[in-house]
Chain A
Amino acid sequence: MSPATGDQSLPTAAYLAALAALDGAGPARLRAILAERSAHDAWFGVRSGAPWVTTALGSHDRAAQWCRAAVRIDPGELLATLRANRFGAVDQRSPGYPPPLRDDPDPPAVLFADGDLAAVGDRRVAVVGTRRCTRYGHDVAIELGESLAASGVTVVSGLALGIDAAAHVGALRAQGAPPVAVVAGGLDEPYPRRNAPLWREVAAAGVVLSEAPAGVRPQRWRFPSRNRIIAGLAEVVVVVESHERGGSLYTVSEAISRDRPVMAVPGPIRSAASTGTNALIADGGHVLSRIDDVFALLDLVGTVTVGSPHQRPIADAVDRRILDALGWQPTSIDEIVAHTRLPVDDVALRLHRLENDGVVALRGRWYEQCVVAPGHRAAQST
């Protein structure tokens, strides 16, 4: 009865990959054609231009386009890629499908996984934020990731640069609950490439999920789409730093539409990287004033691995002046000199010493004051 009876031997994953590889195969369309049929039947329906496909997609043009495109897609080849990379593929009927997404209003129809899908644990917190973060945001994200994972809470994030990466780094450092990453592009193409080593570590320790089949470079629309999965997976979404407009705010609105609590980490009012998070707090978001706060929201008593922020006692009056000029936001040496009116060489030398003592840190050309972090120092000394 089927035009390609020989293909019937292929497992479901092959047809899921083939369907997801169609141009414009977003979650809604895939759900529509997978609603009442197996992946195998859906694929051959699309390929043969069956009338029900037009009905399911609600568009004759799209059905015709997919019918033409399907000829060039070989499920067998896609399956070989999946197997070569040890990637899994699940749809909503698969037993491995992440349970939190089963009741989602906009669940992914197909999910590809690099790693163990069981990594999606019972308690899950998303830690998200801007790519262009400050040292402060970077450190908070690491602390959060580390504390959560150490307490057995799954850290969900997006493996982007900046906050996302820092959260994963923290989660990996704790060696506690396995990390979960949701990415926008194909699993075989780490994006951004700079994160490839971290990507592999996350896949080895936990799981990297994607709606896109292997070989797909992340198109623009896939990033907000990925953010909705992060929101869907998390019980609580913590935004560490966000600019006035940014992808993490999309995650926030997806979380709000799912009645998930959103926490924001307050930041200096003059830091561009905190304008988004401060606005969230002003709009009634939960405040993360201590790492503990996230556990309170989860009704957990967590293990906080790092200390609370307070300045260390600095005896030297001139050092004190420099730290006062530094404040708690990234500051250039120009600004410090302008505020303290000390000679440039003197400021440079004192900053050098303060950096040696771990009081300040230099990132690019910005100096930042470090918080007392016993956990970090322990981690560094071992």
Chain B
Amino acid sequence: MLATVSSASLTGVRGHPVTVEVHVSQGLPSFTVVGLPDTSCREARDRVRAAVLSSGLEWPQTRITVNLAPSGVPKVGAGLDLAIAVGVLRAGGQLGDGDTEGFAFIGELGLDGSVRNVIGTLPLVAAARRPIVAVAPANHAEAALVPGVDVRSAPTLRAMVDALRAVEYWPQPPPAPIPPAPAPLDELAQVKGQPLARRAVEIAAAGGHHLLMVGPPGGGKSMLARSLVGLLPSLTPEEALDVMTVHSAAGLQLAPGALIERPPFRAPHHTASTVALVGGGSRALRPGEISCAHAGVLFLDELGEFPASVLDALRQPLEDGVVRIARAYGATTLPARVLLVAAMNPCPCGDAGVAGSSCRCSEGTRQRYLRRVSGPLLDRFDLRVHVDRPPASALFSSEATEPTAAVVERVAQARSIAAARGVARNADLAMSDLDTLAPLAPTARRVLEIAMDRGRLTARGVHRVRRVARTIADLAGTEGPVDECHVAGALATRIDVGTSATGLVA
């Protein structure tokens, strides 16, 4: 007796369809699972057997072989439990072939026969490509996000079998779990003073330029970073599906019912490991924080405290917009198009470069601290600003600072100007396109030449400044060539991190 059941398995954030083939034949009772299962998948043998027996169903006392096709692709996780159990029941004749027509099964089984939720339900359901998908009740809402799929769920294997045999109705799905409320975004109006940093945040949002903020604690760097998310445009439906797919694969709780609209904001702690940040892992190839921040903001606070190896692993994803993970048994790409915002202190004590500061770090200590961020990574930041502590007068000033809503409009306008040129983010402008899409007025070129003569700008830096200047021009509504004030503005938001720490220069 042979039965085939549809299911899906996860590699990175991508689901791929898996056909579970169960063969029951005469012979000594045995139960074998083949087709590159990983440990948790191979353990399905024990879980499935116990679940079937606990459900008051019969376990065939024969030779059972389960093949997970395609057999060359490694399968991970316990999400195939349910499909294996249904396959065994069908092969043993306890379920009719017609009962599971058009179904795919995704779920883990408990020894008591309960159906448990799995991570990555969203990409798994999409990958199963069947009209009806049976999942755990906890995954019902998430699975329902996939368009054109009829989702069924039951709390136990027994209830599911009864519903399949049409002796019972499918139980009502439970109310969708409420995901933890997202951290409230900071309103830009709360940031007092800091004209340059506010400006940099606006440019970053408009042009997708990575932003580095250097400054003493208490300057409002984190607040600026959080308010940046509020300036970004809402996600397109395709982006939203990508983001939710990644979040599902990463095991994050998704908001029920609808596509998310706002770009994600992820702020991993500086003790995060390389795998936690860029993704990977021994077999499961889980997405990291940079993928969870896809289409949103990845905020690295205390950049100088991250291990250098972790930071350097970010370089390739930042350049390509995807994480490529290759292992001996397979490779995958994870989406990772993020806006990187980083904050760091200018020195270990944090007070360097503050007028009248009490910083006691020696010059050498400061330089060593700043060198912890490698040059190539530093180079990814188009925008680098110093964020001072605002003076007391600014903190208590009753004068209204520009609220997020006002800046959002300018950002949207700038983005639409860029879109009219066929560019999603000015930060991604190819060097070969700079002359056609971001031409320089003669006066603007002169400003750049002088900056280079003074040794403040390298040849590579020129291109970065030109991209930022293009964004500034877009923000100003200038569609023609980039003007000198745009270039000067771009230069002002590109401090030399090394000398900015040295407040009073030797």
Partner of B355, one of A133, A161, A330, A347: A330
Residues of B near A272 (CB, < 8 A) are 355-357, 504
Would you call A132 an interface residue if the criterion is a C-beta within 8 Å of the partner chain's C-beta atoms?
Answer: yes
Would you call A131 an interface residue if the criterion is a C-beta within 8 Å of the partner chain's C-beta atoms?
Answer: yes
Would you call A152 an interface residue if the criterion is a C-beta within 8 Å of the partner chain's C-beta atoms?
Answer: no
Q: Which residue from chain B places its CB closest to the CB of A341 in the assembled complex?
A: B195
Would you call A12 an interface residue if the criterion is a C-beta within 8 Å of the partner chain's C-beta atoms?
Answer: no
In chain A between 126 and 152, which residues have their CB closer than 8 angstroms to a CB of chain B? 131-135, 138
Indicate if the CB atoms of B506 and A337 lie closer than 8 Å: no
| Given A134-B504, A135-B505, A365-B495, A349 contacting B196 (CB threshold 8 A) | no
Would you call A102 an interface residue if the criterion is a C-beta within 8 Å of the partner chain's C-beta atoms?
Answer: no
Residues of B near A334 (CB, < 8 A) are 193-197, 386, 388
Q: Which residue from chain A places its CB closest to the CB of B472 in the assembled complex?
A: A345
In chain B between 437 and 463, which residues have their CB closer than 8 angstroms to a CB of chain A? 447, 450
Choose, from B246-254, B307-315, B484-492, the stretch at the interface: B484-492
Residues of A near B450 (CB, < 8 A) are 352, 356
Residues of A near B486 (CB, < 8 A) are 345
In chain B between 288 and 334, which residues have their CB closer than 8 angstroms to a CB of chain A? none
Residues of A near B234 (CB, < 8 A) are none
Q: How far is the CB of B126 from chain A (nearest CB, A)?
A: 46
Which of under 10, 10 to 19, 20 to 34, or 35 or more describes the interface residues of B? 35 or more
Residues of A near B195 (CB, < 8 A) are 334, 337-338, 344
Would you call B199 an interface residue if the criterion is a C-beta within 8 Å of the partner chain's C-beta atoms?
Answer: yes
Residues of B near A161 (CB, < 8 A) are 363, 506
Would you call B53 an interface residue if the criterion is a C-beta within 8 Å of the partner chain's C-beta atoms?
Answer: no
Q: Which residue from chain A places its CB closest to the CB of B476 in the assembled complex?
A: A345
Residues of B near A349 (CB, < 8 A) are 447, 484-485, 488-489
CA distance A363 to B194 in the complex (A): 20
CA distance A211 to B345 in the complex (A): 40
Q: How far is the CB of A32 from chain B (nearest CB, A)?
A: 35
Q: How far is the CB of A187 from chain B (nearest CB, A)?
A: 22
Would you call A288 an interface residue if the criterion is a C-beta within 8 Å of the partner chain's C-beta atoms?
Answer: no
- Against B, the Cβ 8 Å flags (1 = close, 0 = not) of A255-282 are 0000000000000001011000000000
Q: How far is the CB of A34 from chain B (nearest CB, A)?
A: 36
Partner of B504, one of A165, A330, A337, A344: A330
Partner of B488, one of A330, A338, A345, A364: A345
CA distance A346 to B355 in the complex (A): 24
Q: Which residue from chain B places its CB closest to the CB of A352 in the assembled complex?
A: B488
CA distance A55 to B394 in the complex (A): 67
- Against A, the Cβ 8 Å flags (1 = close, 0 = not) of B463-506 are 00000000010001000000011101101100110011011111
Indicate if the CB atoms of B355 and A364 lie closer than 8 Å: no
Indicate if the CB atoms of B194 and A365 lie closer than 8 Å: no
Partner of B492, one of A133, A270, A333, A338: A333
Secondary structure class of chain A's binding surface, majority of residues? helix
Partner of B505, one of A332, A352, A363: A363
Q: Residue among A138, A338, A344 with the most chain B CB within 10 A?
A: A344
Residues of A near B199 (CB, < 8 A) are 344
CA distance A270 to B504 in the complex (A): 13
- Against B, the Cβ 8 Å flags (1 = close, 0 = not) of A111-135 are 0000000000000000000011111
Indicate if the CB atoms of B504 and A133 lie closer than 8 Å: yes
Would you call A223 an interface residue if the criterion is a C-beta within 8 Å of the partner chain's C-beta atoms?
Answer: no
Q: Which residue from chain A places its CB closest to the CB of B484 in the assembled complex?
A: A349
Q: How far is the CB of A23 from chain B (nearest CB, A)?
A: 25
Q: How far is the CB of B25 from chain A (nearest CB, A)?
A: 78
| Given A334-B193, A345-B486, A349-B484, A366 contacting B356 (CB threshold 8 A) | no
Q: Which residue from chain B places its CB closest to the CB of A342 in the assembled complex?
A: B195
- Against A, the Cβ 8 Å flags (1 = close, 0 = not) of B345-369 are 0000000010111000001000000
Q: How far is the CB of B334 from chain A (nearest CB, A)?
A: 37
| Given A334-B194, A345-B472, A364 contacting B502 (CB threshold 8 A) | yes
Indicate if the CB atoms of B193 and A338 lie closer than 8 Å: yes
Would you call A178 an interface residue if the criterion is a C-beta within 8 Å of the partner chain's C-beta atoms?
Answer: no
Residues of A near B491 (CB, < 8 A) are 348, 352
Residues of A near B485 (CB, < 8 A) are 345-346, 348-349
Q: Which residue from chain B places its CB closest to the CB of A331 in the assembled complex?
A: B355
Indicate if the CB atoms of A344 and B499 lie closer than 8 Å: no
Would you call A108 an interface residue if the criterion is a C-beta within 8 Å of the partner chain's C-beta atoms?
Answer: no
Indicate if the CB atoms of B506 and A131 lie closer than 8 Å: yes
CA distance A243 to B394 in the complex (A): 27
Residues of B near A132 (CB, < 8 A) are 503-504, 506
Q: Which residue from chain A places its CB closest to the CB of B504 in the assembled complex?
A: A132
Q: How far is the CB of A327 from chain B (nearest CB, A)?
A: 12
Q: How far is the CB of B180 from chain A (nearest CB, A)?
A: 36
Indicate if the CB atoms of A364 and B489 lie closer than 8 Å: no
CA distance A352 to B492 in the complex (A): 10
Indicate if the CB atoms of B193 and A364 lie closer than 8 Å: no
CA distance A133 to B506 in the complex (A): 6
Residues of A near B386 (CB, < 8 A) are 332, 334, 365
Q: Which residues of B contact A (CB under 8 A)?
A: 193-197, 199, 353, 355-357, 363, 386, 388, 391, 394, 447, 450, 472, 476, 484-486, 488-489, 491-492, 495-496, 499-500, 502-506
Given contacts A334-B196, A344-B199, A349-B488, 8 further A-B contacts (CB under 8 A): A135-B505, A138-B505, A272-B357, A273-B504, A349-B484, A349-B485, A352-B491, A365-B353
Closest 3 CB pairs of A and B: A345-B489, A349-B488, A348-B492
What are 27 pairs between A and B in contact, CB < 8 Å?
A131-B506, A132-B504, A132-B506, A133-B506, A162-B506, A165-B506, A270-B355, A272-B355, A272-B356, A272-B357, A330-B355, A333-B196, A334-B194, A334-B195, A337-B196, A338-B394, A344-B196, A345-B489, A347-B492, A348-B488, A348-B491, A349-B447, A349-B485, A349-B489, A352-B488, A364-B353, A366-B505
